[in-house]
Amino acid sequence: MLIYWLVFFALSYLSVSMSLVGFSSARISSSASGITIWSITFFALLFLLGFRHEVGGDWIQYLRMFEMVQYQNEFDTTIIDRLLGDPGYQILMHLSLKLETGIYGVNLLCALIFLSGLFFFASQLPKPMLAIAIAFPYLIVIVGMGYTRQSAAIGLVMSALVYFGRKDNLKFIILVLMAALFHKSAVIFTGLLFFAGEKFSFFRLLIALMFSLLMGVIFIAESLESMVKHYVLEQYNSDGAGIRLLMNALCSLVLLVRLDQFNFLDGAKTLISILAKVSIFMFLLLFFGVGEVLLDRLSLYLLPIQLIFFAGLSKSLNLHSKQELIVDCLILLLYAIIFYVWLNFATHAPFWLPYNNIISEPVITPIIFQ
């Protein structure tokens, strides 16, 4: 548990320090010291995620997937739906087999995709390092280490959202389709194209949702039965799903009310408005009997709404620098409390404890690292 807190406090310290000296997204990309700190943070987190050993709720499941593919003599696309349902992940497994890096090579590549998307997305926000710090407790530790395939999809979706905000629809589509290769649920983001260059309306939202659902059903038809069984019919426990959905909804509600104070470009405002309204809609679905686990897994794609809100909150309030610092510290305290509660009381937290990696377990070091 100690390593998690050390990393979180290090990120928090960097966030506060960079805010004090005025490191914005622009200065990080144009300053040598900013680029250095940003790069070191990226590779430190890449090491943490990519080289983990027996960490995460689905570790055994992913290890078994890798072993099943390992016994295939050739790349066999017929096992995609039977074993994984996500060809992008299977390709990474075969690549790791060729390199003889084992499951660690797959985790490293997925972590690279995930963190690249997260850091690219965070770099567009008013306080990038604050966004990384508040992403650490849940998005990085729990999702990045626990939901390997979906974390890669989320990273690609976050990159896609940046290009959607820039009205670069071609890159947006390519990245969403790439994300769908890792987790088919990502295909629902194609519905955002209904809002490209147009003002938001609830009628367009309804049409987009219908289109996204149709695309999703077509794309995941062969895996739909398994997904319904696991996420809807079976009463799987999703600790804190209601709280996470509520946090997304509350951040979204404030964003919608105060969006003009956040000084985003028009394209970004359109995107934020859509994500915010969808987040609120998904929270309301909890009260209509929709599967909690299903909503929780889909809401992972909407976690960036929290980064958008909290990384820009203090700037939107037009405060003095010291007041901004207090607001940022309160935000970090909130996420520290959430992290503490999860680590100590969540049902599945023991799967993340203690943290181990291949450096601390040299006996299982892959051949390429020996």
pLDDT band, very low/low/confident/very high, at 147 (cuts 50, 70, 90): very high
Q: Could you give the C-alpha distances from 203 to 19, 194, 216, 242, in angstroms and in order?
A: 41, 11, 20, 27
* Bridge partner residues of 348 (DSSP): none
pLDDT band, very low/low/confident/very high, at 196 (cuts 50, 70, 90): low
pLDDT band, very low/low/confident/very high, at 194 (cuts 50, 70, 90): confident
Q: Which amino acid is at 182?
A: F
> What are the residue ranges of helices labelled H in 56-165?
59-70, 79, 87-99, 102-122, 128-135, 144-146, 148-165
Mean pLDDT of 28-34: 75
Name residues whose C-beta falls within 8 Å of residue 225's C-beta, 6 or more positions apart in sequence. none
What number of H helices and E strands is found in the chain?
A: 18, 0
Q: Quote the DSSP letter at residue 81.
A: I
Please work out, in degrees rounded to the nearest 5, the angle formed at the alpha carbon of residue 119 by the alpha carbons of 344 and 178. Answer: 100
Q: Give the chain's largest Cα–Cα span.
A: 64
Average pLDDT, the chain: 83
pLDDT band, very low/low/confident/very high, at 34 (cuts 50, 70, 90): confident
Contact predicate 273/267, CB 8 Å = no
Distance from the Cα of residue 290 to its chain's centroid: 22
367: its two tokens: 């051949």
Q: Could you give the C-alpha distances from 216 to 102, 203, 220, in angstroms and in order?
A: 32, 20, 6
Contact predicate 128/25, CB 8 Å = yes
Please work out, in degrees rounded to the nearest 5, the angle formed at the alpha carbon of residue 51 by the alpha carbons of 47 and 55. Answer: 115
What is the percent of the chain with per-residue pLDDT over 70, rounded to a whole number?
78
b/e burial code for range 157-178 (CB count within 10 A of at least 16 → b): bbbbbbbbbeebeeebbebbbb
Q: Encode pLDDT of 52-69 as tens digits.
A: 999 998 899 899 888 888
Assess whether the previous peptide bond of 128 is cis (omega < 30° from 0).
no
Q: In terms of C-beta density within 10 A (0-12 exposed, 13-18 middle, 19 or more buried), how is residue 91 classed?
A: middle
First to last CA, the chain: 27
Q: What is the pLDDT of residue 225?
A: 44
Neighbours of 273 (CB within 10 A): 18
Q: What is the pLDDT of residue 241?
A: 79
pLDDT band, very low/low/confident/very high, at 266 (cuts 50, 70, 90): confident
21: its two tokens: 């000296």
User: What SS3 state is found at 347?
Assistant: coil
pLDDT band, very low/low/confident/very high, at 280 (cuts 50, 70, 90): very high
Mean pLDDT of 339-348: 92
76: its two tokens: 């066999």
Q: Encode pLDDT of 198-241 as tens digits.
A: 555 555 566 566 665 655 554 554 444 444 444 444 444 556 77
Mean pLDDT of 160-178: 92
Backbone angles phi, psi at 301, to 5 degrees: -70, -20
Among 352, 310, 313, 360, which residue's Cα sits nearest to residue 141?
352
Out of 18-32, 129-143, 195-209, 318-332, least confident range? 195-209
Q: What is the pLDDT of residue 333?
A: 97
Q: What is the pLDDT of residue 25?
A: 59
Q: What is the pLDDT of residue 136?
A: 98
Mean pLDDT of 117-135: 95
